[in-house]
């Protein structure tokens, strides 16, 4: 079974946007981004050419048949793109890639495509709850189905994984459903310092929560990380899977 990976990215401060620089300073200079990576996605892409839809994917996806990424981009909406998007990835980033062990890459890709179609906006003020450790919720945490609740990059990744694992869209609009699915504590009398909302997670907090997350059956959500996109590509190749290059 092909695996998708959670990206944890860290860029030099000078390479960040103004809002990114401000949040980097206010949150103690931790990792700057969490997203998704699909090595050799051609092996399980559908026959429907959805990647030609510019609302879902950048032009570089049409021109690529190997590796796919899914992130909030500069228009503050999530879209598919590739490692050829040098304007986004830059040349000085440090990346760790964490394999998703509890859902197939195809299922994670399918949920990501639905999220891209819903086009949630990563509002600048979604960053503020994380400044208080997530224990002071500043937004609603449950919305009607058919939307994506407030999410910065870490929260959106957590929603997508929870939806792919559960087979339900409830985690996309309900923070509690997402955290329950992932087996991550939510603020309560028993966990008073855990974030209540998904916007309460900085990128570093999100990746640490996912690294420690276990489902009810005891399976870990993420496996051991590899360094760099090349590490994830090599890990998939070495597992003996046949892909199109």
Closest CA to 33 of 160, 157, 173, 178: 157
pLDDT score recorded for residue 134: 58
pLDDT score recorded for residue 244: 41
pLDDT score recorded for residue 243: 44
Residue 241 near residue 44 (C-beta atoms within 8 A): no
Residue 9 near residue 32 (C-beta atoms within 8 A): yes
Euclidean distance between the first and final Cα of the chain, in Å?
17
Show the CA angle centred on residue 154, arms to residues 148 and 155, nearest 5°: 30
pLDDT score recorded for residue 103: 97
pLDDT score recorded for residue 242: 46
pLDDT score recorded for residue 187: 65
Cβ neighbours for 35, distance < 8 A, ≥ 6 positions apart: 6, 7, 9, 69, 70, 71, 72, 153, 157
pLDDT score recorded for residue 28: 60
Q: How far is CA 58 from CA 34, 75, 243, in A?
A: 19, 12, 22
Residue 102 near residue 155 (C-beta atoms within 8 A): no
Identify the segments of the chain with pLDDT beneath 50: 242-245
Cβ-in-10-Å burial (0-12, 13-18, 19+) of 224 comes to exposed
pLDDT score recorded for residue 63: 78
pLDDT score recorded for residue 245: 41
- pLDDT of 194-227, one tens digit each? 888 899 898 999 999 999 999 999 999 999 999 9
- pLDDT of 132-156, one tens digit each? 665 566 666 667 678 899 999 999 9
Quote the mean pLDDT of the chain: 86
pLDDT score recorded for residue 62: 86
């Amino acid at each position: 079974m092909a695996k998708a990976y959670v990206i944890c990215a860290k860029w030099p401060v000078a390479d960040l946007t103004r809002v990114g620089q401000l949040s980097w300073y206010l949150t103690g200079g931790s990792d700057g981004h969490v997203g998704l990576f699909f090595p050799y996605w051609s092996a399980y892409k559908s026959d429907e050419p959805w990647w030609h839809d510019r609302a879902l994917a950048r032009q570089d996806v049409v021109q690529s048949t190997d590796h796919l990424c899914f992130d909030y981009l500069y228009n503050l909406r999530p879209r598919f793109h590739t490692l050829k998007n040098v304007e986004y990835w830059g040349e000085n980033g440090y990346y760790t890639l964490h394999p998703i062990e509890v859902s197939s890459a195809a299922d994670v890709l399918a949920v990501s495509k639905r999220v891209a179609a819903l086009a949630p906006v990563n509002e600048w003020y979604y960053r503020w709850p994380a400044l208080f450790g997530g224990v002071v919720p500043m937004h609603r945490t449950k919305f009607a189905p058919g939307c994506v609740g407030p999410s910065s990059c870490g929260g959106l990744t957590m929603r997508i994984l929870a939806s792919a694992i559960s087979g339900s869209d409830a985690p996309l609009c309900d923070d509690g459903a997402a955290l329950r699915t992932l087996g991550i504590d939510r603020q309560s009398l028993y966990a008073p310092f855990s974030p209540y909302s998904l916007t309460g997670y900085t990128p570093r907090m999100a990746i640490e929560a996912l690294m420690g997350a276990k489902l009810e059956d005891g399976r870990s959500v993420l496996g051991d990380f590899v360094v760099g996109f090349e590490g994830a590509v090599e890990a998939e190749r070495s597992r003996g899977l046949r892909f199109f290059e």
